[in-house]
Amino acid sequence: MSSAAAPTLSLPGDPPGGRRAVWIWGIGVAVYFVAIIFRTSLGVAGLDAATRFDVNASALSTFSILQLLVYAGMQIPVGLMVDRLGTKKVLALGAVLFTAGQLGFALSPSYGTALASRALLGCGDAMTFISVLRLGSRWFPARRGPMIGQIAALFGMAGNLVSTLFIARALHGFGWTKTFVGSSLAGVLVLVLMLLFLKDHPEGHEPPPVEHAGAAYVRRQIAACWREPGTRLGMWVHFTTQFPAMVFLLLWGLPFLVEDQGLSRGTAGSLLTLVVLANMSVGLVYGQVIARHHAARLPLALGTVGATAVLWAATIFHPGHAPMWLLIVLCVVLGACGPASMIGFDFGRPANPPERQGTASGIVNMGGFIASMTTLFLVGVLLDATGDDYTIAFSSVFVLEALGLVQILRLRKRAAAREREHHVVSRVEAVHVPV
């Protein structure tokens, strides 16, 4: 039996998928889409925010750092909430919080209130992606998992595209308050759709009841997930692959291209858009490849990390301004970081049973956001300490990439052996379940 082929065995109790599944899951994806618009809106408003609140680079980076700190810190609690309460309740709470955060950011009279609003936004945002992954696993067969995850991420990047194309233009056309208040209405719209139509699972596919025993249950759930090498490998894959593009898109890409590379804001915005478009294209390719060739997961992740490091180094160490062709190639490669980070979930998912999927996804999802938060902080501090030397500040990326690579290489064999054990057990159970 070839190890390159992905297993296509239908597992006992697999949901049927179909048009209704696409419709229900699409509502959840729409919530995630709006959350990404709100999350990334600061990336195109960074220079405006610095002027509006009269802050330096370190203070500006605190907006994104706090938002990601809240997001990362909420991942395990959110995973536990999704496993216990279901998708609809958690997504509804998330939509209320991130909409309130976006509206508060629009109306904030001071840096402090704006900071609190971004924290609130980060809390709501944290509840979206894990919920959407859980929704997909409840409505589609397990073999569709890699593709469903990549498509969800693709629509999230479409939200990023809205930020780079429309939020940036609206800021210059309508100003700060009107732009952010207007965008917050999208949160109200998806909340109404979700409350009216979303269902946690199809009829006849209710999850088995799980006994919850307070703190003891929480400890058992987290410990069981963490014991699985696949969960930890997934977290480190997410950690190592996601953050360079996140740092570039979320805050520091536009200032780097304008202030360090001498580009106009329009040209810089076009390059950020290229990152998003590349992400959407690569995501479809990665999803198809992994669905057909399970063994391609780690080579794709490691290849993306290597290509990112090479292009990042070539750009920041280039004497003078980097040529446009190099900036274009860098942005295309950065576009592969998001799809590569989704591979982390494809390690965590088969390592855990359905009742732990939310918790496992939360642990995996922490990785990239912890790396992004750390790098955002380091870049801001180093820019202030060196008089805006982007070469030194952006070199911090290599430190976190090296750390992540060491952990991936350390865990890969243990995770592969454990996954083979799970696959054998699943095949035996499938053969013995009556139809």
Kindly report, residue by residue over 4-51, the tens digit of the pLDDT. Answer: 444 444 444 566 667 888 898 999 999 999 999 998 888 778 778 888
- Nearest of 10, 50, 76 to residue 384 by alpha carbon: 50
Rg of the chain taking only CA atoms, in angstroms = 21
CA gap 17, 141 in Å, rounded? 6
How much is the pLDDT for 210? 59
CA gap 84, 194 in Å, rounded? 19
How much is the pLDDT for 182? 92
Per the rule left: phi > 0, alpha: psi between -120 and 50, beta: everything else, 212 is beta
CB atoms within 10 A of CB 348: 29
Q: What is the DSSP letter of 434?
A: -
Q: What crossing angle do the helices spanning 214-227 and 357-386 adopt, rounded to 10°?
A: 80
CA gap 2, 76 in Å, rounded? 36
How much is the pLDDT for 57? 77
For residue 16, how many C-alpha atoms fall within 13 Å in the half-sphere facing its CB?
A: 6
Which DSSP string do the residues of 131-176 spell out, in sequence order?
A: HHHHHHHHHS-GGGHHHHHHHHHHHHHHHHHHIIIIIHHHHHHH-H
The residue behind tokens 């057909």 is 292
CB-based contact 229:351 (threshold 8 Å): yes
CA gap 197, 193 in Å, rounded? 6
- Specify the pTM: 0.77
CB-based contact 194:31 (threshold 8 Å): yes
Phi and psi dihedrals of 109, rounded to 5?
-85, -10
How much is the pLDDT for 202? 78
Return all residues near 236 (Cβ < 8 A) that are at least 6 apart.
Answer: 344, 367, 404, 407, 408, 411
Kindly list the averaged pLDDT for each block of 10 residues, start to end, along the chain of length 435.
Answer: 40 67 90 91 80 83 82 87 87 95 92 92 91 84 74 82 82 88 94 91 66 70 91 96 92 91 90 89 87 89 97 96 96 94 89 83 90 90 92 96 97 87 52 38
CA gap 321, 262 in Å, rounded? 7
Length of the chain: 435
SS3 406: helix
- Nearest of 90, 80, 186, 184 to residue 135 by alpha carbon: 90
Kindly report, residue by residue over 126-149, the tens digit of the pLDDT. Answer: 999 889 988 887 888 777 767 787
CA gap 168, 188 in Å, rounded? 21
CB-based contact 336:154 (threshold 8 Å): no
CA gap 238, 65 in Å, rounded? 18
Q: What is the DSSP letter of 318?
A: S
